[in-house]
Amino acid sequence: MKLRTQNPPHIRSRESSLTMMTDIVIATLPLYAMAVYYYGTRALLLGGFGVIVSSMADGACQLLAGRIPNIRDLSGAVTGLLIPLLLPASASYSMILLAALFGIAVAKQPFGGMGQNIFNPAAAGTAFAMICWPKSAFAYPVPFERLPAMVDDTVRLVSSPAYSLSLGGTPNIDLLDMLLGNAPGPMGGTNILVLLTCLIFLIVRKTVGLAMPAAFLGGASLMALLTPRVDAPALTAVAYELMSGLLVIGAVFLINDPVTSPKRTLPKIFYGFGTGALSMAFRHIGRYEESFLFALLVMNATVWIIDVWGEHLAHAMRRKNREFKTNPPVSEPAEQDVGAAQK
Amino acid sequence: MNLIVSMLTVLVSSAVIENLLFARAIGADHILRQTRSYRFIIEFGLGAAVISGVTVMPLWWLSQTFGRESWWNYARSMAAVLLIAVVSLLLTIAMAAAGRIQKPMRLVDQGAVYSASLAVVLLSLTAKMAFLPSVLYCFGASAGLAAAMILVHAGRERLELCVLPRPFEGLPITMIYIGILSLAIYGLIGHQLPT
Amino acid sequence: MRNYPRKGILLEQNKEPGLSKEIRILPALPVERSELPGPVSSTPDMLAPYEIVSIAKEANIVDEIDGRRLWKKLAQAARESVSGIVVDALDDEPYISSQLAPTLQFPEQLHQGLRLALRAIGASKSSIEIYRNLFDLDTRIPSSIMGVKVDRISGSYPAESYARRRLQRNSTLVVGACALLFLQRAVYEGLRQTSAFVTVTGDCVANPGNYEVPLGVSAGALLEAVGLITDPKRVVAGGSMTGFSLTDPSTVYLSQTTRGLLAFAEEFQDMGYACLGCGRCTEACPQGLSPYFIYKVMQSHRKHHIELADADLCIGCGSCSYVCPAKLDLAQVMAQAAAYTRRRQTAGGQP
Amino acid sequence: MPFVIVPTLSLKAGLLMSAFLAAATIPSAVLASLVGRKIPPLFSLPFYGTVSTGCVLLLRFCVSGQALLLEDLGVYVPLAAFNGMMLELALVHPRRRVPDALHDAVMMCFGFLLVAAFLSALREFLGSGSLWGVPLTAPIRIRGLVLPFSGFILIGFLSALFRRVDSIIIGRMLHASRRTAKQGGDAV
């Protein structure tokens, strides 16, 4: 009988790209539930629109690149799910459309598509939308006011706590409401408790590691502690800074994007810390009330430097460590050769 | 203390906020061809910093004196070019005398240094700052340019490992990379730059 | 307690039901006895070391852990006067229990063989090494076998090669359990080694277990004799992590070093995923290499930074391929990178 | 030439910028072909730089009526003297004969004119909803297009598009030649 051969190992773990992406999709669903609870079914419309647009853009770009469209790995859908969560619930459909198109067709596919993009597509698209429509991207609807499917001028839009922080004033919302998400802000960025639950879920599922989010939040809070913007008690100020804007949702979803983050543990910590510190620092300098996405993009550009630096470090440690210098035992090379020969 | 803080502000803003490459795209076409190694980038930045820093001193004094006249608007550029030429020639000769030059810089690289220094000098003059800040501005802007070039170089190294779509290989993907980076920088700063 | 490797992967050991069953000789494949010339010594404990070595040579016993002749190993160890013998019975690869089962089922024979080997090399210390992370066992592993201390090796998957390397470094002779059993048979009963212990398992095998099969039998014949439920899609000779799959089992013949024969019903289908860059391979690699980095660098034309990655330190354990969520064949890439790096080193930096 | 794309936010500015580039490039290229071999390399760059700067400033004096546009271009006008085309033609590959140098310079400037016109028109139309200063109604208004970074991204996509078209044309030609060769082979 003739059998198909294949290189060792002959058993594989059950985890796959599909399961990882499915975990992230599952983690976004509670946020959409909360958004429906606060803003009505328009949240679902936005999410579905984003998913459809970005998946179709993904497939179309793959067709243009001459490959068979493979949207099974759900990466485009994840991008489309994340973009509305980063924008206000009153975002117009053209905003979502442009953000998704920019994220997929500019920030992802020209770089070679899945797994090769340097910048996080969701972050890039949302940043582009924010720059194109600064007014409507930073004006948020009030929770518990049902939004119509088509937002018109009758909808009451207010500014977010992040804006009042950027003006140097303490938000007039108490911390518990911000914790529960009963505060104007990005559609998915406000309900902190749900976000932390999602983070715990992802960490338990081992889809993301603990290192980067912890280092990110640590860096952000340290920066906020050192350079306070409001004259409140220090811890209160730090809590306000952390819970306003996109920091927490970024710590859950955007920082942990496996493609655009370093690989070894120490570089991961460095990257997370740097991103947190940078985004907090530019809340002082920048004009926009939210600087996390831009800081993330800048840090994405430095990931390759960080990775090579980490490889240098590991190289030096191996050189120092005697144990790794001994030659491999006799059996394995033989089996390698046989495996290669069989192939 | 206050002085130091203001100086630091000038340095940081010139290096990051008014970054020559990302915010103004000055020298991009040279950089695209010529980011060969980190060492070269450092030398490039140092050269631009020294040349522009030395050049801006007499120019600042000149613009203080002739700033009102209408012909100065034209004479400024010409004077800057000539001064940069003189300073860079002196620098080259000095380094050659010190024996620091193994092989002379290629002409195109010299051109890149020229245009970078020219841009720095003219910008620091249009900003109408005091004397010391404008010199600091030159150093900071050159440092920012070098940092931007390092980022671009790292990006190209990373892009070598990607299986890019064929039409995008080389220049186009680098341009898109720089574009997204400058989007990020612009968002961090968040205001339109005066040209 | 030594914990090595520091990294690596924790596999679920599918050793049952193979391990707890007793070792059988298949009626379809009888093991023929071939006597050694000369009488069997009545007092084996009185034998001189050189006699034991010569008997091992006569009986041409092969050590199953590295395929070397036992008498050569013994003679070399006697020359180098090593301090002791470690019986290698740790099967850290899933499914395989062809060393563990004989150790647990023929303890006194093993003990006698161990005593003979100790006499042969003139050493005193001895211990038996068994893998610690064995969860789903029906039989419990004793703390000592016939007074010989059992050393439980903890740590995740590629523990065997690490244990071997550590022992080689502090001058201890590592002998496989099966080889010692055959040594005991040769001395006490005067038999040559004409058989080997093989674990036959997998989801196609009717009654999985450890079998003593004559040497030179084809894998196909062994599978037929053990009995198949369905026709297997993949047949693997050797361990499930490092063994190699066979195109035609009827043309591959078992040797002393074949420790397992696995028959699986399902194939891997390629989902066409691209590398996510999740970095799990980097977390898994026991050698502290970064298969992600090496994979990326090997993709590129001019292989920058390849000398950083130390690909030649790869031991081919296959952990990276196991954990890869995109199901990439990273072990193959690592092997190519290792060959490339060695070429570079020999060529003086230039491939 | 990307850096001159950035300030060209309107069609007029694009055309003016390409005019400056031409003023900087063509004379120095011709000059290089004339006296290029007489100048020692150490002094060639200052020489050409001065010449092209002079030409650029001359042109600027001529068009000084367009105060607003010049205000927009600002510091980029003198920088046009050191553009990549001028360096390329004058320093790296100076042609030996004047007509060749002229031909090269004019062709390069014309190509740049096309690109600049297209991009600046696109950015003006979609970005600020007007064309040649005449307000129009754009289908969708993307404010981001008037910002510097979109200049980079547009250039990237444009050059990728050109390459794709080139590769398609070359592929067609290769295919045709292969087919003819195959037929020839059959005939033989």
Looking at the structure, tell me whether residues C256 and C301 fall in a common domain.
no
Give the pair of three-digit tokens for residue D80.
Answer: 């046009």
Looking at the structure, tell me whether residues C76 and C158 fall in a common domain.
yes
Percent of chain A scoring above 90 in pLDDT? 42
- The total of structural domains in chain D comes to 1
pLDDT of residue A28: 93
User: Cα(B142)–Cα(B49) distance, rounded to whole angstroms?
Assistant: 5
Binned at pLDDT 50, 70 and 90, residue A203 comes out as very high
From first CA to last CA, the distance across chain D in angstroms is: 51
Looking at the structure, tell me whether residues C285 and C328 fall in a common domain.
yes
Which residue reads 């002749």 in tokens? C69
Residues in B closer than 8 angstroms to D153, CB to CB, are 175-176, 179-180
Give the pair of three-digit tokens for residue B56.
Answer: 């801006």
A317 in contact with C at a CB cutoff of 8 Å?
Answer: yes
Chain A residues at the B interface, defined by Cβ less than 8 Å, are 64-66, 106-107, 109-112, 116, 118-119, 124, 127-128, 130-131, 282, 285-288, 291, 293-295, 297-298, 301-305, 308
Residues in D closer than 8 angstroms to B186, CB to CB, are 147-149
C264 in contact with A at a CB cutoff of 8 Å?
Answer: yes
Residues 6+ apart with CB under 8 A from C309: A311, A315, C289, C290, C293, C294, C297, C337, C341
- The total of structural domains in chain C comes to 2
Residues in A closer than 8 angstroms to B17, CB to CB, are 285
Cβ–Cβ gap A8/C241 under 8 Å: yes
**Cβ(A222)–Cβ(A237) under 8 Å?**
no
Tell which of C267, C289, C314 closes a domain. Answer: C267
User: Cα(C69)–Cα(C187) distance, rounded to whole angstroms?
Assistant: 16
Residues in A closer than 8 angstroms to D140, CB to CB, are 94
User: Cα(B160)–Cα(B169) distance, rounded to whole angstroms?
Assistant: 9
User: Cα(D37)–Cα(A297) distance, rounded to whole angstroms?
Assistant: 48
pLDDT of residue A325: 46
Give the pair of three-digit tokens for residue A245.
Answer: 């804007």
Q: Minimal Cα–Cα distance from D176 to chain B, Å?
A: 22
Answer whether residue C208 shows pLDDT above 60. yes
Answer whether residue C102 shows pLDDT above 50. yes
Binned at pLDDT 50, 70 and 90, residue A336 comes out as very low
Q: What's the mean per-residue pLDDT of chain A?
A: 85
- Which alpha helices (H) appear in chain C, and where do they start and end? 49-58, 70-80, 100-105, 107-121, 159-169, 177-189, 219-226, 280-284, 291-299, 306-309, 319-323, 330-346
pLDDT of residue A146: 82
Instruction: Sheet containing C84-88: give its strands across.
Output: C144-145, C148-153, C125-131, C84-88, C173-176
pLDDT of residue C225: 87
Cβ–Cβ gap A10/C282 under 8 Å: no
- Where do the domains of chain B lie? 17-189
Residues in B closer than 8 angstroms to D155, CB to CB, are 172, 175
CATH architecture observed for domain A17-318: Orthogonal Bundle (1.10)
Cβ–Cβ gap A287/B189 under 8 Å: yes
User: Cα(C346)–Cα(C343) distance, rounded to whole angstroms?
Assistant: 5
B18's enclosing H/E stretch is none
Tell which of C234, C267, C300 closes a domain. Answer: C267
Q: Is the ipTM of this complex over 0.95?
A: no
Q: pTM of the entire structure? A: 0.87
C317-342 pLDDT tens trace: 888 888 888 888 888 899 999 999 88
Return the closest-CA partner of residue B114 out of C74, D157, D53, A3.
D53
**Cβ(A104)–Cβ(A78) under 8 Å?**
no
B171-186 pLDDT tens trace: 888 889 988 988 888 8
Residues in B closer than 8 angstroms to A126, CB to CB, are none
Q: What's the mean per-residue pLDDT of chain C?
A: 83
User: Cα(C50)–Cα(A8) distance, rounded to whole angstroms?
Assistant: 41
The three state secondary structure string of chain A is CCCCCCCCCCCCCCCCHHHHHHHHHHHHHHHHHHHHHHHCCHHHHHHHHHHHHHHHHHHHHHHHCCCCCCCCCCHHHHHHHHHHHHCCCCCCHHHHHHHHHHHHHCCCHHHCCCCCCCCCHHHHHHHHHHHHCHHHHCCEECCCCCCCCCCCCCCCEECCHHHHHHCCCCCCCCHHHHHHCCCCCCCCCCCHHHHHHHHHHHHHCCCCCCHHHHHHHHHHHHHHHHCCCCCCCHHHHHHHHHHCCCHHHHHHHHCCCCCCCCCCHHHHHHHHHHHHHHHHHHHHHCCCCCCHHHHHHHHHHCHHHHHHHHHHHHHHHHHHCCHHHCCCCCHHHHHHHHHHHHC
Q: Minimal Cα–Cα distance from D18 to chain B, Å?
A: 16
pLDDT of residue A193: 92
C275 found inside a domain: no
Looking at the structure, tell me whether residues C131 and C153 fall in a common domain.
yes
pLDDT of residue B103: 66
C124-178 pLDDT tens trace: 888 888 887 776 677 778 888 888 888 887 777 777 777 777 777 777 888 888 9
Q: Minimal Cα–Cα distance from B85 to chain A, Å?
A: 35
D28 found inside a domain: yes
A66-111 pLDDT tens trace: 887 876 778 889 999 999 999 999 888 999 999 999 999 999 999 9
Give the pair of three-digit tokens for residue C48.
Answer: 């001189």
Give the other-Cβ count within 10 Å of D46's Cβ.
19
Alpha-carbon A158 to chain mean position: 25
C312 found inside a domain: yes
C197: helix, strand or coil? strand
- Where do the domains of chain A lie? 17-318
Answer whether residue C104 shows pLDDT above 60. yes
D188 found inside a domain: no
Across the interface, of D3, D44, D147, the residue whose CB is closest to B26 is D3
Cβ–Cβ gap C297/B161 under 8 Å: yes
Looking at the structure, tell me whether residues C78 and C185 fall in a common domain.
yes
Q: Minimal Cα–Cα distance from B193 to chain A, Å?
A: 13
Cβ–Cβ gap A118/B159 under 8 Å: yes
Whole domain around residue C315: which residue ranges? 280-346
Whole domain around residue D72: which residue ranges? 2-146
C146 in contact with A at a CB cutoff of 8 Å?
Answer: no
Running along chain D, 188 residues long, what does each successive block of 10 average in pLDDT?
Answer: 65 84 85 78 80 86 78 76 72 76 85 85 81 74 76 86 86 77 48
Alpha-carbon B176 to chain mean position: 21
C210 found inside a domain: yes
